[in-house]
Amino acid sequence: MCETCTEHRFEHIRSLKENWDSYGAGPIDKRAISAAHQIIQAMKREPRIMPTSVGGILLSWDTGLSEIGDVDLWIEADGTLEEH
């Protein structure tokens, strides 16, 4: 365990209180923490890898979360990520 590992970061984020940034930020919502955790777990698995019609590649991770669905990375022909 190090201060930057996943479990440490989630523990830190869960502990954030009102005004944690000194600019009036609220605590981080449990639903966001849960979704982030599940997305990280999903992305540790192999993605589906598909060619795209414009000469690129789509990497797609199924999160198993109905609200989120897949996490998709669209890679352009030139190797950059497509902005959505």
- Enumerate binding residues for Zn ion (CB under 5 A): 1-2, 5, 8
Nearer to Zn ion, 3 or 83 (CB): 3
Nearer to Zn ion, 8 or 48 (CB): 8
- Minimum distance from CB of 50 to Zn ion (Å)? 35
Q: Alpha-carbon distance 66 to 84, whole Å?
A: 20
What angle (nearest 5°) sits at the alpha carbon of residue 5, between those of residues 19 and 18? Answer: 10
Which residue type sits at 53?
A: S
The residue sitting closest to Zn ion, measured at its beta carbon, is 1
